[in-house]
Chains A and B, each alone.
Chain A
């Protein structure tokens, strides 16, 4: 035991950290980010990633344990020591792997793992090569581990400001593309804060740290009563809420002016996914119908917008007219598209009314894939261009407002749609319809018994979700001006789902945050583009295991997602195992039948 942490735990945690570090190396993250400077010249993202596994491992190892029913946190000093030890194990494992790679032959390993290169080894040994640099590697891990232990066990009034300060520095370092631009657009100098084209200056980093840490201290020091008062004013006084709303809206309007066109471009992409997220949130979050084929609505929205606004098919010989075509103005066409998409929603919803859970997910996945395959097929070519797609989506210009040529103007168009969708969604959620969806989601058979027409409300969810999703597709078509089937694959469905889940099922602010994180961040940080999907996948798994209610939970849903299936399908467990036998033959599910009835 070292300060309350068992040696076995340290070793195990350390080894897992080592494996994680090796994974990061093999998957190429070090190679990619070795040169991304965050602060000054020395603190690169790559170096942060070197200490990260040890830090996280130590953080986990020094967690409070429950011993004999009592929650025992680890003390500070011993905690840091244990953390350092964990870091040592991590570093040793990692260094051993590096040494092994060097000994075995880097070129030979690269035949399998393409990221194992000479520069990688250089980087991991801090330029000193093997074996001279290995102790440095171990040392870095020890430091990382110690920091991890610190982060866990330090007294709160020290730990909180420091952690927040560090996070703020790292975050602003990562945002090195945006923040300087904002400064410049506002007319301020940024060179004292950011080195040009690179990360934070040392001065800047120090300043950010102090400000963030100070803010944290002030917030804590402010005392609970003050915080509660602020919170309560915001939540209850209508004037305050209106003010907050106006403030948020004003910020949203002003953003593109602050950010310039490149970032407006990214924000527009975010907006498209916010729309998709809002629509999917209705289907999955409100009505509880797991739809894995949402790309169908997106594709429908995009292609029907193209067709209705007179776009052309791309052919090998130039442009051609599609079999069906109209020349409507975008602002007219888009409502027609939404209406038709609602119809498509009914078509998709009708066959799946009786299905639940996994089956529903798979069928909707299948339907989405059918749409994907068809849009890319030669069969559909006369209508929507097949593998070569369409181009020339136009007619979105009104007077001087031309969103297709100006990213900032497009942002406003997208914002308008998003606000509309948010409003509709919000109103529905707090209405009789939202109540019906909630009831249906919590217990479908009982909701049915209480007079809610399940068929009608499932169809309604699909229709509304489809209509809103199609708006996303329409915007997408207008933004790009041309469409190719590659944009309409299952990835869209999964990304939309990730946005909703990460943000919090059933939570509208969550959708916005989810889109910002999952679409905005990779969009702004170009280097992450390659690892976007890896991060999506990892984030989904992590969120589900650690915090299934998402980043901004819908309070009601949090409990649903965390509880065991006690109250939801629990009646089956209340009854004995006969439930299974009954279920095999009872069509309505086992709700109505108790085993006593069958005796």
Chain B
């Protein structure tokens, strides 16, 4: 048994070319490319001839729309981020948790509409819709955890991810079997139709409801996590579940609570989404789910403020992105590509800053 030959060593010696930090070079080139595409596109859009240009009102609408959508994404994103923080797994089926909440709200809303209760007692009916959606979503989330995720607590990472995908498929098609494949129109109480003018801004009433509700929800969650015992337990388990259990924290219960809270928030998001887009359908959870997940990762998965911030960002990006950048390049029907946009953002974030925008620039232990 000899040692390596001179020739082999020389073969492994480095040429000047190989000493280049390739990764950094490619990253720099990519970033330059992206920045230039974005700025050039924006410039072109903003300097279009007056008749082809978007008006100031249109931009304002884009922004408001983006914020509204983004806040809904933020609520859903919180569910992803909470579960990931505790279990280090992506609950792929969270979009379906959201969807079932929307359906539950729909059935009540439908009944209320038929009986006129929706219009006569708007506030109470909205409150009931929220409660119904929250409870349903919470139930689905807890069931998911119990049946599909708990048995796989210790499995290698591949397994729960695939299970989550399977659960997502299963739940979607269960809804399809239960409720039918057609989209159903979600009625909005007349009190919420039309617009309000606040501080000189004209906003859709539903949008105002969305903003107010999301702010309350996020504030409530933050307080809960920071101040209550359960919240502290959740943070402890997220930091280190073994030590937490040694400290007397009932880890299983905390995990169920986390799923439940994620479900609650998704239920709220479901009602808000339904009154904004006024339709429910068995596959409605997929795209918002992915957008929300992107938001959670964007903000640094595991971080609550990150999820909220990420949600707003993604919402804005979805509405402004195609408008601002793609129109300049004369891309026809740019809004068709808004999902591609979201995914592109996701891919880029994970490549450049896997820890998220608010993260350290390095990936968490994966």
Task: Check whether chain A touches chain B (CB < 8 angstroms).
Answer: yes
Cross-chain contact A114 with B165 (CB below 8 angstroms): no
Chain A residues, Cβ within 8 Å of B107? 111-112
Interface size class of B (residues with CB under 8 A): 35 or more
Cross-chain contact A572 with B290 (CB below 8 angstroms): no
The reply on B362 being an interface residue by CB < 8 A is yes
Q: State whether A534 and B170 are in contact (beta carbons under 8 Å apart), knowing that A361-B161, A366-B343, A544-B163 are contacts in the complex.
A: yes
Cross-chain contact B332 with A366 (CB below 8 angstroms): no
Cross-chain contact B148 with A584 (CB below 8 angstroms): no
The A339-397 residues at the B interface (CB cut-off 8 A) are 350-352, 354-359, 361-363, 365-367, 369-370, 373-374, 376-379, 381
The one of A112, A354, A379 in contact with B179, judged by C-beta atoms closer than 8 angstroms, is A112
Q: State whether A537 and B173 are in contact (beta carbons under 8 Å apart), knowing that A366-B344, A366-B346, A580-B239 are contacts in the complex.
A: yes
The B170-216 residues at the A interface (CB cut-off 8 A) are 170-174, 176-180
Return A346 CB to nearest CB of chain B, in Å. Answer: 13
Cross-chain contact B177 with A27 (CB below 8 angstroms): yes
- Report the Cα distance A494→B160, complex, angstroms: 15
- Report the Cα distance A494→B167, complex, angstroms: 12
Q: State whether A494 and B362 are in contact (beta carbons under 8 Å apart), knowing that A366-B343, A369-B343, A544-B162 are contacts in the complex.
A: no
Interface size class of A (residues with CB under 8 A): 35 or more
Binding site of B, secondary structure by majority: helix, strand, loop or mixed? helix
Q: State whether A584 and B240 are in contact (beta carbons under 8 Å apart), knowing that A114-B178, A537-B167, A537-B170 are contacts in the complex.
A: no
Return A279 CB to nearest CB of chain B, in Å. Answer: 18
- Report the Cα distance A27→B178, complex, angstroms: 5
- Report the Cα distance A385→B96, complex, angstroms: 32
The one of A534, A572, A583 in contact with B364, judged by C-beta atoms closer than 8 angstroms, is A583
Chain B residues, Cβ within 8 Å of A498? 166
Cross-chain contact B166 with A536 (CB below 8 angstroms): yes
Cross-chain contact B174 with A27 (CB below 8 angstroms): yes
The one of B26, B333, B344 in contact with A379, judged by C-beta atoms closer than 8 angstroms, is B333
Interface centre among B152, B165, B364 (most CB of A within 10 A): B165
The reply on A179 being an interface residue by CB < 8 A is no
Cross-chain contact A541 with B167 (CB below 8 angstroms): yes
The A522-539 residues at the B interface (CB cut-off 8 A) are 531, 533-534, 536-539
- For B37-59 the 0/1 string (1 means CB < 8 A from A) is 00000000000000000000000
Chain B residues, Cβ within 8 Å of A365? 290, 343
Cross-chain contact B158 with A538 (CB below 8 angstroms): no
The reply on A590 being an interface residue by CB < 8 A is yes
Chain B residues, Cβ within 8 Å of A561? 155-156, 158-159
Cross-chain contact B340 with A370 (CB below 8 angstroms): yes
Cross-chain contact A357 with B333 (CB below 8 angstroms): no
The reply on B242 being an interface residue by CB < 8 A is yes
Instruction: Considering the complex, give the chain B residue whose CB is closest to the CB of A374.
Output: B340
- 16 A-B interface contacts by CB (under 8 A): A27-B174, A356-B366, A359-B354, A365-B290, A370-B344, A534-B169, A534-B170, A534-B177, A537-B168, A540-B170, A545-B152, A565-B154, A572-B365, A577-B240, A579-B365, A584-B365
Please name 8 further chain A to chain B contacts, defined as beta carbons within 8 Å, in addition to the given A363-B346, A540-B166, sorted by A numbering: A366-B346, A369-B290, A378-B332, A379-B333, A531-B177, A536-B166, A541-B167, A565-B156
Q: What 3 A-B pairs are tightest by C-beta distance, nearest first? A: A540-B166, A537-B170, A537-B169
Which residues of A approach B to under 8 Å, CB–CB?
23, 26-29, 111-115, 290, 292, 350-352, 354-359, 361-363, 365-367, 369-370, 373-374, 376-379, 381, 490, 494, 497-498, 501, 531, 533-534, 536-541, 543-545, 548, 560-561, 563-565, 568, 572, 577, 579-580, 583-585, 587, 589-590
